Chain A
Amino acid sequence: MSQHIKELTKGIFKENPTFIIMLGMCPTLAVTTQVVNAIGMGGGVLFVLLFSNIFISLLKNVIPNSVRIPCYVVVIASFVTILQMVFHAYIPSLYEALGVYLPLIVVNCIILGRAEAFANKNGVLDSALDAIGMGIGFTLALTLIAAIREAFGAGTITLFRIGGWDGVIKVPFFYNWPIRVMTLAAGALLLMGYLKAFFNWNTSRKARKAAKAEEVKA
């Protein structure tokens, strides 16, 4: 049981697809101008990743090895098409906001990467757990980036519209004096650089601590 839990949790922190493995960067930076878009994109990727991992894991003995990449792409593209139709029908505002980046989930390296590295070697349950973990890790990373960018760049946190509440939280100070560059392309790249540096520092600090503990024990 514990190993199944490990497949689930590794994607969230230890092998976070955005900050540690650095895959699927283009939607990460392009749609994170508003928190609601980031959550929508994360949910979409989670859906496609989950179903493509399950199907590829089921089909792994049927697909000939030499044509496996085109087969994976077709499976992924089918689920992306389903996702596009669902978004178009039920959440048209999100469909408009994500625009061309919604069909681009097909070429998101995370999904093909997990299919190639995990789903075609492991069973259905492990593949599904791996997909959920990776999807949640991706969603959390996107939400973090979007929250920072929106709070500093526009002074708001836009969430879902519920009933009478329009879903916008105003951030004091930054609402009146926003740092506009954070919502633009340049701010996204700069923020990503600093966040990656922070995660590098964090990993190396942990490694140093572990080494020191080993030394004390010896």
Chain B
Amino acid sequence: MRIIAILLTYIFINNFILVKFMGLCPFIGVSKNSESAIGMGLAVSFVAGTASAVCWCVYYGLLVPFGLEYLQTIAFILVIAALVQLVEMVLRKMSPSLYKALGIFLPLITTNCAVLGIAIINIDEAYNLLESFTAGIAAGLGFTMAIILMSNIREKLELKPVRRSFKGVPIAFVSAGLMALAFMAFDNSLLANLHLA
């Protein structure tokens, strides 16, 4: 039950882009066409899920027993950087086609707020290992959904007459704002109505 609640929370209620603004740079930068948006979204979901699980293990297996909780930020960002490098190498060897699709996005993910953000939120919320992993995947899926919707909107906007000063990034922000208005419909009452809270 808690797992479903976490999934709904991070995909809809606390959508990482439209509510928490994490990962806004790639959201604006990579959403020009839907193919690269899907690639970026999947890469983020994959890394966020793995990083959540690994960071949880590092925090409770290494930092807490030695009383080093204050090193959390440094440890997590190093874990994420190493993990991204590892994923890149593994993908290149195991699945060249997947590497071709996701490869160029992987280096960008190290500095994506969403990945470090969900790793820190997992610790703040005191989730267990499975819940952390789920939260990571859910945050990634929420990001994927938002970036795919955004790329579709922007592909349509290319063909529409837009004032010159609004072309490109400004109109993308305004569309994202309207999307965020729609997402305000999801709040904690959703969980209450589904008897999950």
Contacts and interface: CB of A to CB of B under 8 A. Distances in A.
A81 B174 contact: no
Contacts, number: 128
Interface stretch (A2-10, A19-27, A152-160): A19-27
B83 interface: no
Contacts of A192: 173, 177
A49 interface: no
Given A25-B25, A112-B111, A70 B78 contact: yes
Contacts of A200: 164-167, 170
B120 A103 contact: yes
Given A107-B77, A192-B173, A197 B70 contact: no
B76 to A, nearest CB: 8
Nearest to A184: B184
B111 A181 contact: no
Nearest to B16: A26
Contacts of B7: none
Contact of B173 (A81, A103, A189): A189
Interface string A192-212: 111011101100100000000
Interface of A is mostly: helix
A86 interface: no
B72 A189 contact: no
Contacts of A204: 164-165
Contacts of A122: none
A78 interface: yes
Interface string B44-85: 000000000000000000000000001111100110010000
A81 B78 CA distance: 14
Interface string A130-141: 000000000000
Contact of B180 (A27, A74, A185, A201): A185
Contacts of A109: 25, 111
B78 A23 contact: no
Contacts of A179: none
Given A70-B78, A107-B111, A186-B184, A193 B171 contact: yes
Contact of B170 (A70, A74, A197): A197
Contact of B116 (A25, A107, A189): A107
